[in-house]
């Protein structure tokens, strides 16, 4: 596959990252994952705004974000994916710091890398739903920034895999936050309930789209904390993300949700969301 790397379009095995790149040394970078439908990117502007916010928070001096849409379109074209579903990954790090030093380098050019892969929706999981586990949230207090520092997420996701689950959802001080790579919400008494945005929750792009859909579909929703002990009282749950769309949750650890079947409101939102993707 062709990859974009610091101004060039190269075969991916020709991309060489310096061992002194701060992304490699310190996870000193931000990233975005963007869905391409075969016609267009989904919510590209929203992804770009979140990326810009992350760069500003991290104080990474990259001023050419407006060029990124052209880079992304060129990547799709160069990989012959203009009519295919694809996932685009983009990462920007602070650049090279040699010798290694915690302090920002006085002069550094950010490292920019982007690549695309074909995307195949997980239709069976969308139809039948998935199992999740719960995991203590040991992440740092800047989870609203999409940085590449993801070790707690990786460990939790691996644990879910080893327990035949699709996702791990974090619990912090007995309150649900989010999944390792998803937003999490539920339905109770015909209301969609979703944890409010905070420094412990990433402002998910799919989350934003779903809440807009709730307005269009006249599905009432409220943003409030979900306590771990009240999970048993909900009627439905779902995971939201760029790769997972709107995926029903039918089991939390050993507890079946809605008799192990996707809920009606979840499927209603899922259909509306997929209509956007496929339009």
Domain with 226 in it: what CATH number? 3.20.10.10
Q: What is the pLDDT of residue 81?
A: 96
Cβ atoms of 89 and 114 within 8 Å: the answer is yes
Which of 73, 89, 118 is at the close of a domain? 118
Task: Tell me which residue range forms the domain holding 191.
Answer: 123-278
Same domain assignment for residues 146 and 67: no
Consecutive H or E run containing 179? strand 175-179
CA pair distance 197, 204, nearest whole angstrom: 9
Q: Are residues 70 and 96 in the same domain?
A: yes
Say whether both 168 and 131 belong to one domain: yes
Residue after which a domain boundary falls, among 62, 97, 118: 118
Shared-domain flag, residues 35 and 160: no
Whether 160 and 214 map to the same domain: the answer is yes
What is the maximum alpha-carbon separation in the chain? Answer: 59
What pLDDT, on a 0 to 100 scale, did the predictor assign at position 106? 86
- Domains identified in the chain, total number: 2
Catalytic one among 16, 118, 125, 146? 146
- Give yes or no: residues 85 and 143 share one domain: no
The CATH number assigned to the domain holding 110 equals 3.30.470.10
Statement to judge: residues 23 and 81 lie in one domain: yes
One domain for residues 155 and 246: yes
24 and 138 together in one domain: no
pLDDT less than 50: residues of the chain: none
- Let me know if 146 is a catalytic residue: yes
Q: Please identify which residue in the block is written with the tokens 């690549």.
A: 115
Which pLDDT value is given to residue 279?
85
Long-range contacts formed by 49-52: CB under 8 A, 24+ apart: 50/146, 50/203, 50/205, 51/90, 51/92, 51/146
Q: How far apart are the first and last CA of the chain?
A: 27
Residue 136 sits in the same domain as residue 72: no
Q: Looking at residue 108, what is its pLDDT?
A: 86
Q: Do 149 and 110 fall into the same domain?
A: no
Identify whether residues 55 and 159 lie together within a single domain: no
Whole-prediction pTM value?
A: 0.95
CA distance 146 to 173: 22
Domain boundary among 118, 135, 170: 118
């Amino acid at each position: 596959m062709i990859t974009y790397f610091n101004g060039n379009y190269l075969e991916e095995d020709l991309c060489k990252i310096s061992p002194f790149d701060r992304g490699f040394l310190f996870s000193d970078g931000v990233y975005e994952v963007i869905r391409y439908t075969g016609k267009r990117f989904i919510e590209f502007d929203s992804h770009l705004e979140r990326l810009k916010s992350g760069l500003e928070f991290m104080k990474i001096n990259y001023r050419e974000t407006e060029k990124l849409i052209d880079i992304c379109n060129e990547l799709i074209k160069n990989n012959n994916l203009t009519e295919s579903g694809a996932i685009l990954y983009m990462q920007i790090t602070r650049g090279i710091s040699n010798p290694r030093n915690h302090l920002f380098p006085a002069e550094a050019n950010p490292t920019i890398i982007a690549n695309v892969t074909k995307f195949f929706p997980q239709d069976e999981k969308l139809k039948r739903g998935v199992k999740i586990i719960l995991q203590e949230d040991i992440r740092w207090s800047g989870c609203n920034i999409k940085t590449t520092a993801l070790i707690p997420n990786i460990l939790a996701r691996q644990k879910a895999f080893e327990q035949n689950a699709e996702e791990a959802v974090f619990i912090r001080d007995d309150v649900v936050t989010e999944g390792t790579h998803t937003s999490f919400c539920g339905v109770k008494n015909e209301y969609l309930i979703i944890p409010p945005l905070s420094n412990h929750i990433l402002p998910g792009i799919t989350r934003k789209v779903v809440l807009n859909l709730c307005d269009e579909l006249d599905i009432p929703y409220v943003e409030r904390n979900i306590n771990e002990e009240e999970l048993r009282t909900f009627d439905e749950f779902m995971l939201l993300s760029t790769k997972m769309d709107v995926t029903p949750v039918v089991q939390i650890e050993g507890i079946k949700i809605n008799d192990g079947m996707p809920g009606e409101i979840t499927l209603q939102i899922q259909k509306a969301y997929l209509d956007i993707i496929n339009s």
